Amino acid sequence: MTTFLLETRQADVLKVLVAHLDEVTKVLVVTNSPLNSIVSVHKEEPLLDYYFSTILPKVIGSAVGPEKEKKQLIWVSLIFRMLCWFLLHDWNKDDKCGVPPDLKGSRMPVFIG
């Protein structure tokens, strides 16, 4: 997936990303929206259902043929990366992960790839 995204034109990836963020932001503004009401422990399934049934069609828009397929591939690749990030960062709330004192307030750049 990373290779695919790296080989795809940056402008194409950004168009899909901006369209996705635009649609998600529109939904999150509404207090009782489906995305704001997902509170279950197993939030991934309702989130993905909503993303694939509602957000993806809006991101694709009126694109057809190869353009539609390209947008879908980019979007699915980004969603896959998001899910991987979720798996890495969905900690148990009872876990304690303290920040070492020497890192608090640090301005050291961090790469998240």
The span from the CA of 32 to the CA of 46, in Å, is 15
The reported pLDDT for the residue numbered 40 is 67
Supply the pTM of this predicted model.
0.69
Give strand ranges (E) for 13-85.
none
Instruction: List pLDDT tens digits, range 87-107.
Output: 776 666 666 666 666 666 667
The span from the CA of 50 to the CA of 48, in Å, is 5
Residue with tokens 């207090």: 31
Residues in contact with 77: Cβ distance below 8 Å, sequence separation at least 6, in sequence order? 1, 4, 5
The reported pLDDT for the residue numbered 35 is 82
Residue 5 has pLDDT above 80, yes or no: no
Instruction: List pLDDT tens digits, range 27-73.
Output: 989 888 888 877 766 777 888 899 999 999 999 999 999 999 999 99
Give strand ranges (E) for 7-104.
none
